[in-house]
Amino acid sequence: MTEFTKTLCPYCGVGCGLEVSPPAQPNKATNRDSKGNPIWRVRGNKAHPSSQGMVCVKGATIAESLDKNRLHYPMVRDSLDQEFRRVSWDEAFDLITKQIQTVRCTQGAEALCVYGSGQFQTEDYYIAQKLFKGCLGTNNFDANSRLCMSSAVAGYIQSFGSDGPPCCYEDLELTDCAFLIGTNTAECHPIVFNRLEKYHRKNRKVKMIVVDPRRTPTAEAADLHLAIRPGTDIDLLNGIAHLLMHWGYIDPLFIDDCTSNFPAYAEVIRHYSPEVVARQCEISIEDLETAARYWGESQRVLSLWSMGVNQSSEGTAKVRTIINLHLMTGQVGKPGAGPFSLTGQPNAMGGREAGGLAHLLPGYRVVTNPQHRAEIEDFWGLERGQISPNPGLTAWDMITGLETGDVGLLWIAATNPAVSMPDLERTKKALLRSPFTIYQDAYYPTETSAYAHVLLPAAQWGEKTGVMTNSERMVTLCQAFRQPPREAKADWEIFAEVGRRLGFTKEFAFANSAEVYAEFVQLTSDRPCNMTGISHELLQSQGATQWPCPEESSTSATLSDQKAGGETKRLYTDLRFPTSDGRARFGAYYSKGLAEPPDPNYPFVLTTGRLYGHWHTQTRTGRIEKIRSMHPEPFIEIHSRDAANLGIIDNQLVQVRSRRGNANFPAKVTKAIAPGTVFVPMHWGALWAKDAEANTLTHPESCPDSLQPELKACAVQLIPV
Ligand code: SF4
């Protein structure tokens, strides 16, 4: 009988369960790739509660990327104009530890930086936090999640007192009204959308509202599509609140008993009359009223959002303004309702749990809290005061730190900033100035490997066993089913070995990733993300498990109970929140709009986004034929009226200019985008398409609370070529 290994799809935050088996007849030519490597068979895991056997094209084809363009050996070079030369792990580790010691002595620990990834397993994240934030005393560990969902983290913390999406995927099939804002769920979180759309199709009374300047496949399925002007999300949300208040669709008991700061919020929304909001958002008053009526008349409202909300210079305010609507109508802590942020990466949630952003510590703690630091210091056996009280450098701070010379060593792992960072030309120039860059990745070459002094080959999906948490707090064991190729190692093993060579032998004496995870979960005890009941062993024997899962309840939180009708876990069902007074807080925000609004010189708003088949910067999906043929090249979507005014026809090359750089794309003339707005997918870096890098155009202006850059919008001019 065929043996299937249970694991998780390593692409998006939906976190679909997969099963993998070796090819049935490995010697048959059709079961091998062009280099003779066996192609593993992948199918959806029907028993996984999040995905129930479904997968999208990315998950279905993931195994095809396993042996393509892999980095097999450590390599080094003295300067960026030299060729890499192969070295042993021993030499690479020696070089890295010496460099860390030198930078620490000459510039201090604050000159050491790590830029990690939501592709990490939780064990990778945890060991990196222990090494850098604990043993080395710098909080300069940030992850690409900073570009993805840090506004959701800040919004949840400020409104509820803690991070953590309170909802479950089951809510998709229990809601009366799904309110999707800033998310093209159909393309970016396909299996979440499949569940929602199927339910919506069967239940015609259920309403779906989609807020997006583009008529995306998600918007196509909606009862109401609000194509607002980019940057007017807060106007819209406050306008809906204004109407709910005016029509009496609010829950005064919930507001009185469970929230604080409502009067300040009520004062703000007073100014958002339908006339003002319709004008600002460029939608009709009728559509605005329909949205408010759908929300107000529903017993259970579920809002979903993603990058369209988070990647904004007012991202945290937007998140809180969504949450405000739930608080004023009592739509939280019950089935089918709540504010649900969809995570981009497969384990950005695990990163949050393990403290994998520059202001966080493991167990949903923050570096600025003296008690939190003391708890971690005691647990790690460090002297009090060892952990810095200052938040570390964020992803963008590391780029500016390279410009000023404050960064002495940059360690990039499992991410590709030479494509994904804003203001790409500036980013690349800064990377060229780095005195010492370590690049740890499974693939080679990538756009970022061109900026590295040391390359470290990392094991990837299927080659290491570890844990990931998806958007609904479901924790899954991703089991290895094959050996890492040649000399590749798991990320956590690499960090741990560097730790031991720096003299922290006791701190990093782990025999395997199960031991790492067992240590990490102890730091979640009595925390909102309590996972003390979860272990590799439990996940292996009982399947994916949702947190909170304290030790004493681990047997009642498992998949087998859920299948038997046990309750899926939502947060805040007792309507108490982890704030100092137990109340959720309203945030009162006026809309500020875009950081870089259009003007006569740059009259269009460029918005960037993702396509169904590709994942981020294509390090995997660009090497999968089926996906490449679905999305062969980048393009720019432009409204037919704008195209006619500029004399642009379909497929014509258009030069797009912003204040930071230029890029060229063939035009896709369409009515599916609002006039005045254009769209470009962000997946193409210099390796795949010359002069068509979306982030050459974007800017790094960030939300003051989450420090997440506004990758979603900038002002551009269009020149037909
Ligand atoms: Fe993977 Fe996301 Fe597709 Fe699921 S929806 S198969 S997690 S890419």
For each of the domains in the chain, give its residue range(s) and CATH number, in order of start: 5-65 (2.20.25.90), 75-148+346-464+490-511 (3.40.50.740), 161-342 (3.40.228.10), 604-720 (2.40.40.20)
Residue 16 beta carbon below 6 angstroms from any ligand 1 atom: yes
Distance 56 CA to ligand 1 centre (A): 6
Nearest to 562 by CA among 6, 299, 169, 4: 169
The protein residue whose alpha carbon is closest to atom 3 in ligand 1 is 56
Residue from 330, 355, 352, 356 nearest 341 by CA: 352
Ligand 1 pocket mutation, candidates 46, 50, 55, criterion most atoms within 8 A of CB = 55
Total number of residues shown for the chain: 721
Ligand 1 nearest-atom number relative to CA 12: 2
CA of 699 to the centre of ligand 1 (A): 29
Integer Cα distance of 95 and 91 in angstroms: 6
Q: Ligand 1 centre from 21 Cα, in Å?
A: 18
Q: What is the dihedral of CA 217, 220, 221, 227, to 10 degrees?
A: 100
In the numeric block, the tokens 């989609």 are attached to 210
Q: Is 191 in the pocket of ligand 1 (CB under 6 A)?
A: yes
CB-CB contact of 524 with 535 (8 Å): no
At residue 36 the predicted structure's pLDDT band, cuts being 50, 70 and 90, is confident
Give the pLDDT of residue 35: 77
Does any ligand 1 atom lie closer than 6 A to the CB of residue 58? yes
pLDDT digits (tens, 9 = 90+) for 684-717: 999 999 899 999 999 999 999 999 999 999 999 9
Is pLDDT above 50 for 469? Answer: yes
| Strand residue runs (E) in 152-305 | 177-181, 207-211, 224-226, 259-260, 301-305
Q: How far, in Å, from the CA of 62 to the mean position of ligand 1?
A: 10
Confidence of residue 567 (pLDDT cuts 50, 70, 90): low
Q: Which of 522, 521, 523 is nearest to 545 (CA)?
A: 521
Tell me the Cα Rg of the chain.
24
| Residue 10 alpha carbon to ligand 1 centre in Å | 8
Q: Please check the confidence at residue 8 and state whether its pLDDT lies above 70.
A: yes
Rounded mean pLDDT, 352-370: 97
Q: How confident is the model at residue 181 (pLDDT cuts 50, 70, 90)?
A: very high
pLDDT of the residue at 556: 43
Specify the pLDDT at position 1: 66
Res 31: pLDDT: 77
Ligand 1, residue 189: give the atom nearest the CA. Answer: 5
Mean pLDDT of 325-348: 97
| CA 438 from centroid of its chain's CA atoms | 23
Share of the chain above pLDDT 70, in %: 98
Please tell me if the CB atom of residue 14 comes closer than 6 angstroms to any atom of ligand 1: yes
Q: Is 715 close to ligand 1, i.e. is its CB under 6 Å away?
A: no
55 lines ligand 1 (CB under 6 A): yes
pLDDT of residue 559: 39
Atom number, ligand 1, closest to the C-alpha of residue 615: 8
Q: What is the pLDDT averaged over residues 59-75?
A: 95
Q: Is 186 in the pocket of ligand 1 (CB under 6 A)?
A: no
Nearest atom in ligand 1 to 51's CA: 4
Query: 190 CB under 6 A from ligand 1?
Result: yes
Indicate if the pLDDT at residue 460 is higher than 80.
yes
**Residue of 8, 12, 18, 119 to mutate, ligand 1, most atoms within 8 A of C-beta:** 12
Is pLDDT at 88 greater than 60 in this prediction?
yes
23, amino acid identity: P
Query: Rounded mean pLDDT of the chain?
Result: 95
User: Which ligand 1 atom sits closest to the C-alpha of 11?
Assistant: 8
Cα separation values, 81 from 92, 168, 272, 407, 452, Å: 19, 50, 57, 21, 10
**Pocket residue to mutate for ligand 1, from 58, 197, 615, 626, most atoms within 8 A of Cβ:** 58
Is the Cβ–Cβ distance between 281 and 228 less than 8 Å?
yes
Asked if omega into 548 is within 30° of 0 (cis), the reply is yes
- Angle of helix 89-106 versus helix 491-501 axis, rounded to 10: 60
If you average pLDDT over residues 632-652, what whole number do you get? 97
With a 6 Å cutoff on the Cβ, whether 291 touches ligand 1 is: no
The per-residue pLDDT for range 475-521, each reduced to its tens digit, is 999 999 999 999 999 999 999 999 999 999 999 999 999 999 999 99
Q: pTM of the predicted model, to two decimals? A: 0.96
Q: Confidence band (pLDDT; 50, 70, 90) for 24?
A: confident
9 lines ligand 1 (CB under 6 A): yes
State the pLDDT at residue 565: 39
What is residue 2's predicted lDDT score, i.e. its pLDDT? 73
CA-CA distance, 678 to 648, in Å (whole number)?
Answer: 13
Contact 10 CB / ligand 1 (< 6 Å): no
Indicate the range of 536-550, 562-576, 589-603 predicted with least confidence.
562-576
Shortest-distance atom of ligand 1 to CA 60: 6
Q: Is the CB of 8 under 6 A from ligand 1?
A: no
Residue 54 Cα, ligand 1 centroid: separation in angstroms?
Answer: 9
Q: Is residue 85 a contact partner of residue 381, using CB atoms and an 8 Å limit?
A: no
Q: Are 195 and 203 in contact (CB under 8 A)?
A: no
Residue 294 has pLDDT above 50, yes or no: yes
What is the distance in A from the centroid of ligand 1 to the CA of 342? 12
What atom in ligand 1 is closest to the CA of residue 192? Answer: 5
pLDDT at 656: 98
Q: Is the CB of 478 under 6 A from ligand 1?
A: no
